[in-house]
Amino acid sequence: MGAKVGGGSEFNSEPNVIPLTDILLVLLIIFMVITPMLKKGVDVKLPEAKYVKNEPGKGIVTVSVKKDGTVYYNATPIDLDKLEDKIMEYIEQKNQNKVFFKADEETDYGKVVDVIKILKNSGIEIVSIITEKKTKTQ
């Protein structure tokens, strides 16, 4: 609160918002710096594609395969034996027959085929493959 110094008996009840503004600006800068550092999902080096379609994926599961062959359901590692059961459970709960799939470009092709086969056998009709958008300089 601000108060006038002097001979008057008036009281100034205006709030001083400058410290509040300083704090908000510092918080804004912190969030602007930290947000790009947050990683979502599994870190895989995706292959590049020339034609890419951007599609929102709210509530759709992502199955990933890393370079070492580890399979992930969203961001949690899962065995291939349990993947089919987890996908069937996902289909029943979400009434969804679509899955996003991404694999590291150096992943063994046989492992990719095995995972897609499990997805198809468990009832998934649409497997959307996630790739990196190819830049013009490449």
pLDDT of residue 27: 94
Asked, for residue 127, whether it belongs to a domain, the answer is: yes
Query: Residue 63's domain is classified under what CATH number?
Result: 3.30.420.270
Asked, for residue 34, whether it belongs to a domain, the answer is: no
pLDDT of residue 131: 76
Tell me the residue length of the chain: 138
Number of domains into which the chain is organized: 1
Asked, for residue 3, whether it belongs to a domain, the answer is: no
Asked, for residue 17, whether it belongs to a domain, the answer is: no
Domain that holds residue 108: 48-133
pLDDT of residue 132: 73
pLDDT of residue 28: 93
Asked, for residue 12, whether it belongs to a domain, the answer is: no
Asked, for residue 97, whether it belongs to a domain, the answer is: yes
Asked, for residue 121, whether it belongs to a domain, the answer is: yes
Helix ranges restricted to H, 11-121: 18-34, 80-94, 109-121
Instruction: Assess whether pLDDT exceeds 80 at residue 136.
Output: no
Check residues 37 and 28 and name the one with the higher pLDDT: 28
**Which residue, 138, 102, 136, 137, is CA-closest to 119?**
102
Instruction: Assess whether pLDDT exceeds 80 at residue 118.
Output: yes
pLDDT, averaged across the chain:
80
User: What's the DSSP call for residue 6?
Assistant: S
Q: Which two tokens stand for residue 83?
A: 């993947």
Q: 41-63 pLDDT, tens per residue?
A: 666 666 666 665 665 566 788 89
Asked, for residue 35, whether it belongs to a domain, the answer is: no
How confident is residue 25, by pLDDT bands cut at 50, 70 and 90? very high
Instruction: Assess whether pLDDT exceeds 80 at residue 39.
Output: no
Calculate mean pLDDT across residues 69-86.
89
